[in-house]
Chain A
Amino acid sequence: MASSWRLVPGQALLHRGWDGAFVLYNDLSGDTHLLSDDAMTLLLALRDGDVAPEELAAPELADLLATLRQLDLVEPC
């Protein structure tokens, strides 16, 4: 498991949120994803540099990061 992650270059994180659910436009695939509050918060934190590498290495985040990686939203670095 990678210990550090970043947004995939080119992702602008165009999104809208309502009542704890988010829709996100994927700039690379052209797809739109339905995301949870947790997933969106993590993506924004990665974009803004608000998450430390040790937090990203926490086992609790492994599944979520793997899912976001499958969507080409994040990548290990």
Chain B
Amino acid sequence: MTTIASLTRAQLGEHLAGPGIHLRTGRFTTLLRSPIGGVADGIHLLYGDYPLGEGFADFHLDLVRPATPRRWLRPQVSLLYDGRSMFKPLPLDQAFPMFEWGLNWCVSSRANRYLIVHAAVVEKGGRAAILPAPPGSGKSTLCAALVGRGGWRLLSDELTLLRLDDGLLHPLPRPISLKNASIGVIRAYVPGSVMSRAVTDTVKGTVAHVRPPADSVVRAAETALPAWVVFPRFEAGAAITAEPMPRAETFMQLAQNCFNYSLLGAEGFAALAGLVERSQGYRFRYGVLDEALAFFDSLTGVRDA
């Protein structure tokens, strides 16, 4: 299997600027084209373990510099989906984050064979923990720590894909998106982590992306069984608490974190109910990553909570 790492940075740049590359992330293939150096840098640094595909692509994305007079004053980048601009241009410096956000949008708005939860999901021993949470809750920080130090496999840090037919979780391992203070926290906590250059002044503040473990990328076709739904909340200095949640409440809170629950209708209801019946929910507060990782390890020793 040919991976992105088989291309030098120069070759990758040439491909991206020319015919594009077929980037395979999980079961999705993206035909990505861009002459922008920052995009090639990000792909080269973070996607080396990903397969290069060919032929059919689920998504066609171009990152280009819009030809407007503004480009002479403040260079910008536009994301084109199927050749059409779907979003406001961003400062050129944000080209790589824009690719990441754009690909998230493609999956969350198009992949309706799955119930898609806005949540990180990690696996150990075949059983998965789902971490839904609004921005600022420490979800991605916790996810980066679990896969970087805790021995958990990354399925996704952003999009949990629940298969409608069998209730299994399908991986979509991609770089982990960190924001603001989390960037320094993970640099210190996972010293060997490979991270993209921090980009400042985005709509999310300062952002950087962490390269996913190679093992998680290689195992991208290996599904996992949902076992826990943990709603995390980071509070600096707080003692750890993990309060079991009633299943009906877990259901309602998960539904609020789905991208396509309403779209799927009764099918989405049945899929979510199946997930909740297989999982124990927790309202989880943490202030120290070591303690959080110990809690997650304690879960794996419990067969039926």
Q: Which residues of A contact B (CB under 8 A)?
A: 12, 14, 16-19, 21-23, 25, 27, 30, 32, 34
Contact = CB atoms under 8 A, between A and B. Distances in A.
Interface residues of B, number: 16
A25 B266 contact: yes
Query: Which 3 pairs show the lowest CB-CB distances between chains A and B?
Result: A21-B248, A18-B247, A25-B269
Given A32-B252, A32-B255, A34-B252, A19 B247 contact: yes
A19 B266 contact: no
Q: Which DSSP category, helix, strand, loop or mixed, fits chain B's interface?
A: helix
Q: Which DSSP category, helix, strand, loop or mixed, fits chain A's interface?
A: strand
Interface string B255-286: 10000011001100110010011000000000
B251 interface: yes
Contact of A18 (B248, B262, B270): B248
A27 B277 contact: no
A23 B246 contact: no
A22 B247 CA distance: 9
A62 B277 CA distance: 33
Contacts of B276: 16, 18
A23 B265 contact: no
Given A14-B270, A16-B277, A25-B269, A30 B262 contact: yes
B249 interface: yes
Nearest to A17: B248
A34 B246 CA distance: 12
A20 to B, nearest CB: 9
A23 B266 contact: no
B219 to A, nearest CB: 32
Contacts of A14: 266, 269-270
Contacts of A23: 248, 251-252, 269, 273
A21 B251 CA distance: 11
A19 B246 contact: yes
Contacts of A21: 246-249
Given A21-B246, A23-B251, 9 more contacts: A18-B248, A21-B249, A23-B248, A23-B252, A23-B269, A27-B266, A30-B262, A32-B252, A32-B261
A32 B252 CA distance: 8
Given A30-B262, A30-B265, A18 B246 contact: yes
Most buried by A among B248, B265, B277: B248
Contacts of B265: 25, 30
A34 B273 CA distance: 13
